[in-house]
């Protein structure tokens, strides 16, 4: 189902993830703590109440092939699992993930380059404390409206690493609803299912490349406001199952 009003809800959902800054170190808390308890520094963020008809993506600690990890399941749903950060330096981000079921079923084809298909079976996103004066005037105006409507300080720049099943790995672009969110597909069409893959990304370098048009020569990459894990299938009505574990900053 194509939701023509998704741009602002998408900004709201991403922005609400940064609404509360917690007072903890700039490292990311373990996704699966050693004692097996759920990490209390991660929290769920979905669409605003005005979109209450959209089911929530399910996040749960479970075991897969003897490993405890975060299971991420969609069913015509939307949701993110968020870790706020007190303006952390954009270093090297590492995690392991696997996709057991790509987006299947539903009424449409998942295609992150189109509004009708803007769904992802699995993604890890980084939100930045991007200066508003670097955002083009028109987009700045829309962002200010969204901030006013939500009452939240929505992020001006978000970079998402996506597991995609339609396009090849390495595809880069902007979200079809908003230039405030840009993406890179790390796993693409033909990637093996039900197998763990390890990713390590130089977040600063990726931001400098994806947001090059908004990064003045010699300017430092903005600090990080939050890291999130997400999956959605609200546009296509499809279903998917994936897993993530071991997300952390590396030297």
pTM exceeds 0.75, yes or no? yes
Render pLDDT for 191-205 as a digit per residue (tens, 0 to 9). 999 999 999 999 999
For the chain, count helices (H), then strands (E): 3, 12
Alpha-carbon span 3 to 31, nearest angstrom = 32
Query: The sheet that has 58-64: what strands, in order across it?
Result: 58-64, 67-75, 239-250, 92-104, 197-202
Query: What single DSSP character describes residue 213?
Result: G
Structure tokens belonging to residue 208: 């400098």
- Average pLDDT of span 223-240: 95
What's the domain count of the chain? 1
Tell me the pLDDT band of 15, cut-offs 50, 70 and 90.
very low
Render pLDDT for 87-138 as a digit per residue (tens, 0 to 9). 899 999 999 999 999 999 888 788 899 999 999 999 999 999 999 999 999 9
- Average pLDDT of span 207-221: 96
Residues 6 or more apart whose CB falls under 8 angstroms from that of 211 comprise 130, 157, 159, 182
In a domain, 110, yes or no: yes
In a domain, 28, yes or no: no
pLDDT for the residue 51? 58
Per-residue three-class SS string for 20-78: CCCCCCCCCCCCCCCCCCCCCCCEEECCCHHHCCCCECEEEEEEECCEEEEEEEEECCE
In a domain, 12, yes or no: yes
In a domain, 1, yes or no: no
Whether the CA torsion 14, 15, 20, 26 is positive or negative: it is positive
Is residue 16 scored above 50 in pLDDT? no
pLDDT for the residue 32? 62
Residue range of the domain that includes 203: 7-22+35-250
> In which residue are the tokens 């015509």 written?
76
Structure tokens belonging to residue 232: 């959605």
In a domain, 186, yes or no: yes
In a domain, 11, yes or no: yes
In a domain, 66, yes or no: yes
In a domain, 27, yes or no: no
Q: CATH code at 80?
A: 2.60.120
Is residue 58 scored above 60 in pLDDT? yes
């Amino acid at each position: 189902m194509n939701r023509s009003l998704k741009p602002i809800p998408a900004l709201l959902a991403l922005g609400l993830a940064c609404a509360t800054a917690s007072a903890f170190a700039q490292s990311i808390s373990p996704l699966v703590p050693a004692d097996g308890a759920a990490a209390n520094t991660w929290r769920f963020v979905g669409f605003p109440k005005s979109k209450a008809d959209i089911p929530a993506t399910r996040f749960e600690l479970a075991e897969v092939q003897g490993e405890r990890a975060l299971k991420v399941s969609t069913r015509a749903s939307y949701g993110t699992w968020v870790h706020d950060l007190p303006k952390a330096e954009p270093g090297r981000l590492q995690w392991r993930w696997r996709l057991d079921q790509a987006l299947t079923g539903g009424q449409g084809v998942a295609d992150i380059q189109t509004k009708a298909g803007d769904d992802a079976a699995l993604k890890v996103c980084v939100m930045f404390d991007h200066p508003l004066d670097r955002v083009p005037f028109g987009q700045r105006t829309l962002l200010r409206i969204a901030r006013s409507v939500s009452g939240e300080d929505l992020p001006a720049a978000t970079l998402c690493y996506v597991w995609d099943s339609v396009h090849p790995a390495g595809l880069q672009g902007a979200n079809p609803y908003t230039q405030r969110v840009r993406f890179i597909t790390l796993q693409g069409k033909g990637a093996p299912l039900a197998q763990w893959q390890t990713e390590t990304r130089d977040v600063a370098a990726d931001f400098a490349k994806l947001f090059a048009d908004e990064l003045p020569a010699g300017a430092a990459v903005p600090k990080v406001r939050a890291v999130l894990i997400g999956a959605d299938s609200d546009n296509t009505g499809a279903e998917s199952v994936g897993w993530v574990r071991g997300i952390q900053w590396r030297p």
